[in-house]
């Protein structure tokens, strides 16, 4: 049965939108005690019509699975909140996780939020140094991890982490010291009932770290009020309906895996799939089929990997339940959106947001015409604009198709509240009421936004300002090109020359003939001033796990400069 989309008339919803009205669609804590993410995602459903609905289905590596209904999840998260109380953790203390996508990670996240502690997830693939950096900067009071990760990555750091009071291991039955404790034993001893304390809209809730170009990562802090953004984007962008099965492939170590792998589906009362295993095309298509996934949210990296496979999923798998595919990370090329249309019978809907915005800000919607390569239109309730910035002054651009800085007006609930311990750095992100995203974009005559590139990635060549994304999109149209990444390389006579790093399609030999053909194609399509003057064939493009191309890393390697923070570099 076809479901009617929530966002039928974008213009009308946008014109009449108010965050105060959206807040009324959630319950709020009983007895007017505020707004708590865990209550809205779990407890209110557990005492209502969704109490027996599966909240999360965990698929193990052996394909067996474990399910938690909203009622069961309420009990488990209440137990963990009581564990924190038993350990003497205070409101606002930071609870970190270092684990794969196992149930204990999600129970930790929601239980910490329920307790009004601050939850911070770390990628399980991090090495000791990035773990040390983040736990130190975040002053973690509790770390939940596994025995293997503790022995390999954390044990050696303990003397440098005197403030870390407890380490909870998910796979031991007994406590090994006053500091190294058994997660399961604490949970077994904990009460199933927990009364959520007063939670103010501005109480800290989530801490995410973003990798910096150099030095220490930035700690991005969000508050409980952010759940309003997670709720409404689930409704308008992901188009959640009762009974939906949703799969966000992101790890909670990446903000998408928390905002949309945990909070958004749960606050909307649907069933969320969590797969413990890493990317495998056959496994992924099988999950879509076997678990009857309706809405699938993934990353450009995964989409590009699937494009390489000699698989026709619609022929090989029953995907009749799949009605929406979305992507976030690096903007999707037009070819990737069109590939989705050809392969699945639906375009892949790209959307744009950042760790700092906490949730989706610009999106392609199911009810709206998709312009392949476009970011889409702003979320109702979020004001987005293009501006010039000169001498600390900001001026909005009102004409269409003029490139400028992508800026967002303060006032939406999920805007980050600070960079941890870096208030001056935080203040530099704003001019007046406008947040500076660091991205360049333009708006066309129909109100669609188009990504140009990161402001610090822009190439200045022969008097031209060249966005790498534009050049990469053109190169991707060449019949032999699988992936491309573009940087500016210093050249005294013209400022910078455009250099392209290209991954060829399987079976294509990297020789001078192919190189000249690609160069000729680029010059014809873009003109000699913009087209790459150098091309280098490489085996793979360095990216973060969220799918962002690490152009800064390519540039650093090209110029022999320090490579900066590589903790989020995709290694597989």
Q: For 394-414, how does the pLDDT look when each residue is reduced to its tens digit (9 = 90+)?
A: 999 999 999 999 999 999 999
How far apart are alpha carbons 204 and 271 in whole angstroms?
Answer: 27
Q: Which pLDDT value is given to residue 271?
A: 98
What's domain 10-441's superfamily in CATH?
A: ANL, N-terminal domain (3.40.50.12780)
More confidently predicted of 254 and 188:
188
Q: How far is CA 68 from its chain centroid?
A: 24
For the stretch 25-57, what's the b/e string if a residue is b when 16 or more beta carbons lie within 10 angstroms of its beta carbon?
A: eeebbeeeebbbbbbbbbbbbbeeebeebbbbb
Beta bridge partners of 362: 352, 378
* Maximum Cα–Cα distance across the chain: 73
The residue behind tokens 């805007």 is 415
Residue 460 confidence (pLDDT): 79
For residue 431 the two structure tokens come to 């001019």
Residue 106 phi/psi, 5-degree rounding, is -75, -35
Q: Quick check: 524 pLDDT over 60?
A: yes
Tokens of 165: 């009071």
The interaxial angle of helices 300-308 and 281-290, nearest 10 deg, is 110
Angle CA 106–110–113, to nearest 5: 145
pLDDT band at 393 (very low <50, low <70, confident <90, very high): very high
Torsion of CA 385, 386, 390, 395, to 10 degrees: -50
* pLDDT tens, position by position, 93-145: 999 999 999 999 999 999 999 999 999 999 998 888 889 989 999 999 999 99
| Confidence category of residue 463, pLDDT binned at 50, 70, 90 | low
Size of the chain, expressed as the number of residues it contains: 572
Q: Closest by alpha carbon to 572, among 297, 303, 279, 307? A: 279
Distance CA 353, CA 382 (A): 12
pLDDT of residue 304: 85
**What is the per-residue DSSP string for 527-556?**
-TTTS-SEEEE-S---BBTTS-B-HHHHHH
Other beta carbons within 10 Å of 195: 11
Q: Which residues pair with 499 in a beta bridge?
A: 487, 534
The chain-wide mean pLDDT, for the chain, equals 93
β-sheet bridge partners, residue 56: 68, 272
Q: How many whole angstroms separate alpha carbon 134 and alpha carbon 121?
A: 10
Query: What are the respective helix, strand and coil percentages of the chain, to the nearest 5?
Result: 35, 25, 40
Domain 10-441 and domain 458-541, same fold? Reply is no
Q: CA 466, CA 80: separation in Å to the nearest integer?
A: 51
Domain parsing of the chain, residue ranges? 10-441, 458-541
CATH of domain 458-541: 3.30.300.30
Residue linked to tokens 């992100």: 429
Q: Is the pLDDT of residue 157 over 80?
A: yes
Summarize pLDDT for 350-382 with one digit per residue, the tens. 999 999 999 999 999 999 999 999 999 999 999
The answer, yes or no, to whether residue 1 has pLDDT greater than 70, is no
């Amino acid at each position: 049965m076809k479901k009617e989309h929530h966002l039928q008339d974008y213009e009308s919803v946008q014109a009449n939108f108010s965050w105060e009205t959206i807040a009324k669609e959630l319950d709020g804590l009983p007895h007017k005690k505020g707004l708590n993410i865990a209550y809205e995602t779990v407890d209110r459903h557990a005492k209502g019509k969704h109490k027996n609905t599966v909240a999360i289905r965990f698929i193990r590596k052996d394909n067996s699975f474990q399910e938690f209904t909203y009622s069961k999840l309420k009990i488990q998260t209440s137990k963990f909140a009581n564990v924190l109380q038993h350990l003497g953790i205070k409101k606002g203390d930071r609870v970190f996780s270092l684990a794969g996508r196992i149930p204990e990670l999600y129970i930790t996240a929601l239980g910490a939020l329920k307790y009004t502690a601050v939850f911070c997830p770390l990628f399980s693939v991090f090495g000791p140094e990035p773990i040390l950096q983040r736990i130190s900067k975040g002053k973690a009071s509790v770390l939940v991890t596994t025995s293997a990760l503790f022995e390999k990555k954390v044990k050696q750091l303990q003397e440098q982490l005197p403030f870390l009071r407890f380490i909870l291991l998910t796979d031991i039955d007994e406590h090994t010291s006053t500091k190294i404790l058994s997660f399961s034993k604490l949970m077994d001893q904990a009460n199933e009932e927990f009364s959520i304390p007063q939670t103010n809209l501005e109480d800290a809730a989530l801490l995410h770290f973003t990798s910096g170009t150099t030095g220490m990562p930035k700690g991005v802090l969000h508050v409980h009020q952010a759940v309003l953004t997670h709720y409404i984007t689930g409704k308008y962008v992901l188009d959640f309906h009762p009974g939906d099965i949703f799969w966000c492939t992101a790890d909670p170590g990446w903000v998408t895996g928390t905002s949309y792998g945990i909070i958004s589906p749960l606050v909307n009362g649907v069933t969320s799939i969590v797969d413990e295993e890493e990317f495998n095309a056959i496994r992924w298509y099988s999950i879509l089929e076997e678990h009857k996934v309706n809405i699938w949210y993934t990353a450009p990296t995964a989409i590009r990997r699937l494009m390489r496979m000699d698989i026709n999923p619609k022929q090989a798998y029953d995907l009749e339940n799949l009605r929406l595919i979305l992507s976030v990370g690096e903007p999707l090329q037009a070819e990737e959106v069109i590939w989705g249309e050809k392969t699945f019978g639906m375009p892949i809907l790209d959307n744009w947001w950042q760790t700092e915005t906490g949730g989706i800000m610009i999106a392609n919607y199911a009810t709206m015409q998709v312009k392949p390569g476009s970011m889409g239109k702003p979320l109702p309730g979020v004001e987005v604009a293009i501006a010039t910035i000169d001498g600390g002054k900001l001026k909005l651009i009102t004409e269409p198709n003029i490139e400028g800085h992508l800026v967002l007006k303060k006032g939406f609930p999920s805007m980050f509240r600070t960079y941890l311990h870096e208030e001056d750095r935080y203040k530099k992100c704003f001019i007046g009421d406008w947040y500076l995203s660091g991205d360049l974009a333009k708006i066309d005559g129909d109100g669609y936004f188009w990504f140009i590139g990161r402001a610090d990635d822009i190439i200045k060549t022969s008097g031209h300002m060249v966005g790498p994304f534009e050049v990469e999109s053109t190169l991707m149209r060449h019949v032999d090109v699988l992936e491309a990444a573009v940087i500016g390389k210093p050249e005294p006579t013209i400022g910078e020359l455009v250099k392209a790093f290209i991954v060829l399609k399987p079976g294509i030999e990297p020789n001078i003939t192919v190189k000249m053909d690609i160069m000729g194609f680029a010059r014809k399509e873009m003109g000699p001033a913009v087209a790459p003057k150098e091309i280098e064939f490489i085996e793979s493009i360095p990216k973060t796990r969220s799918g962002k191309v690490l152009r800064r890393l390519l540039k650093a390697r090209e110029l022999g400069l320090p490579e900066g923070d590589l903790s989020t570099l995709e290694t597989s």
